[in-house]
């Protein structure tokens, strides 16, 4: 099943100037990042801000020096980058999976900030047959050329769902019948305990802080990867591969008579 229909592009496209950014948004372009100069105003900028609210696009307020580093042209205090992928809505994907008789396996990434980790995770997820990746709109790595390259193109193939109300989106997964398996060291249970043959969303946390406490409290299962060495930690992309392939191992087991 293919969800992404936009042709691949080599890099994020920069758009600058208030009117150009307004038209990009109105035409349905996916905005990966948007920077507004601090302290500027005007009627046209107000129109842009209304669009940002309407389309639920987050903008970062930055000093003019940052914008000047991005481009030396007349940016009018506004610079945006168009995403190389088309984001999906998980609310559309889950019902479709059930209708097709598939058992959902969803990967939830809670504030993965390194673009290369994002790319490596997407590559593993696509190889493992994960149906979609869910990320928060704020505090997540950009899907940029580095991420695309590290993913070996997987980010063009696997649906990526970016949501503003991240916690509510995870609740939607749970209310849709998916069990939440949170990969965290804050438990005695290991990753081999849950039954991944059921509809499942696996939650992986950020490189620095792990999974946020609110998601840990929501989870149906907490699961940790057994560690026997002295370092006692794995890179998040490696950890994701370990737990995903435990899920795949279980799903490949013949049914019990």
Among the listed residues 126, 125, 131, the one whose alpha carbon sits nearest the alpha carbon of residue 104: 131
What is the pLDDT, as a whole number, of residue 233?
Answer: 83
Cα–Cα distance between 70 and 67 in angstroms, integer? Answer: 5
- If phi > 0 it is left, if psi is from -120 to 50 it is alpha, else beta; for residue 193 that is alpha
**Is residue 1 situated within a structural domain?**
no
- Of the three residues 60, 82, 104, the one that is the final residue of a domain is 82
Cα–Cα distance between 180 and 200 in angstroms, integer? Answer: 6
The pLDDT tens digits for 153-179 are 999 999 999 998 999 999 999 999 999
Range of the domain at 69: 13-82
Same domain, yes or no: 133 and 241: yes
Cβ count near 72 (within 10 Å)? 8
Same domain, yes or no: 133 and 183: yes
What is the pLDDT, as a whole number, of residue 256?
Answer: 64
What is the pLDDT, as a whole number, of residue 255?
Answer: 66
Same domain, yes or no: 75 and 101: no
The pLDDT tens digits for 84-124 are 899 999 999 999 999 999 999 999 999 899 999 999 999 99
Among the listed residues 196, 206, 199, 134, the one whose alpha carbon sits nearest the alpha carbon of residue 167: 134
- The answer to whether 217 and 253 have CB atoms below 8 angstroms apart is no
Cα–Cα distance between 240 and 109 in angstroms, integer? Answer: 10
Same domain, yes or no: 94 and 65: no
**Is residue 32 situated within a structural domain?**
yes
Same domain, yes or no: 104 and 221: yes
Please determine, for residue 1, whether its predicted confidence score (pLDDT) is greater than 90. Answer: no
Three-state SS at 133: strand
Same domain, yes or no: 114 and 225: yes
Same domain, yes or no: 112 and 236: yes
- The answer to whether 93 and 159 have CB atoms below 8 angstroms apart is yes
CATH number at residue 49: 3.30.1330.30
Same domain, yes or no: 148 and 174: yes
Same domain, yes or no: 221 and 126: yes
Number of domains in the chain: 2
The pLDDT tens digits for 20-77 are 999 999 888 888 889 999 988 888 889 999 999 998 888 999 999 999 999 999 999 9
The token pair at 163 is: 């949501």
The pLDDT tens digits for 227-253 are 998 887 899 999 999 999 999 999 998
**Is residue 122 situated within a structural domain?**
yes
Same domain, yes or no: 65 and 149: no
Among the listed residues 11, 206, 214, 184, the one whose alpha carbon sits nearest the alpha carbon of residue 113: 206
CATH number at residue 185: 3.40.1280.10
What is the pLDDT, as a whole number, of residue 91?
Answer: 97
Cα–Cα distance between 201 and 104 in angstroms, integer? Answer: 8
- Of the three residues 54, 82, 110, the one that is the final residue of a domain is 82
Please determine, for residue 257, whether its predicted confidence score (pLDDT) is greater than 70. Answer: no
- The answer to whether 71 and 3 have CB atoms below 8 angstroms apart is no
What is the pLDDT, as a whole number, of residue 130?
Answer: 98
Contacts of 171 (CB under 8 A, 6+ apart): 218
Please state whether beta strands 105-109 and 132-136 pair in parallel, antiparallel, or not at all (unpaired). parallel
Strand partners, 88: 161
Cα–Cα distance between 59 and 50 in angstroms, integer? Answer: 12
Please determine, for residue 8, whether its predicted confidence score (pLDDT) is greater than 80. Answer: no
Whole-number percent of the chain with pLDDT over 90: 73
């Amino acid at each position: 099943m293919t969800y992404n229909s936009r042709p691949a592009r080599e890099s994020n496209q920069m758009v600058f100037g208030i009117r150009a950014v307004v038209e990009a948004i109105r035409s349905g372009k996916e905005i990966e990042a948007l920077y507004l100069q601090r302290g500027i105003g005007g009627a046209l900028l107000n129109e842009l801000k209304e669009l940002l609210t309407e389309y639920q696009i987050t903008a970062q307020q930055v000093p003019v020096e940052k914008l000047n580093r991005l481009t030396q042209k007349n940016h009018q205090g506004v610079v945006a980058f168009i995403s190389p992928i088309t984001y999906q809505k998980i609310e559309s994907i889950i019902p479709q999976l059930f209708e097709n008789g598939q058992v959902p396996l969803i990967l939830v990434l809670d504030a993965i900030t390194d673009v290369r980790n994002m790319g490596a995770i997407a590559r593993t997820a696509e190889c493992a047959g994960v149906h979609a990746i869910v990320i928060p709109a704020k505090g997540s790595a950009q899907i940029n050329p580095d991420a695309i390259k590290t993913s070996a193109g997987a980010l063009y193939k696997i649906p990526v769902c970016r949501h503003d109300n991240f916690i509510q989106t995870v609740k939607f997964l749970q209310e849709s019948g998916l069990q939440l398996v949170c990969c965290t060291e804050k438990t005695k249970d290991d990753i081999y305990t849950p039954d991944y043959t059921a509809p499942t969303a696996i939650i992986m946390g950020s490189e620095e802080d792990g999974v946020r406490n609110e998601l840990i409290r929501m989870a149906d299962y907490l699961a940790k990867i057994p560690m026997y060495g002295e370092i006692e930690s794995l890179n998040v992309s490696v950890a994701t591969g370990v737990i995903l392939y435990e899920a795949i191992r279980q799903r490949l087991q013949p049914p019990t008579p």
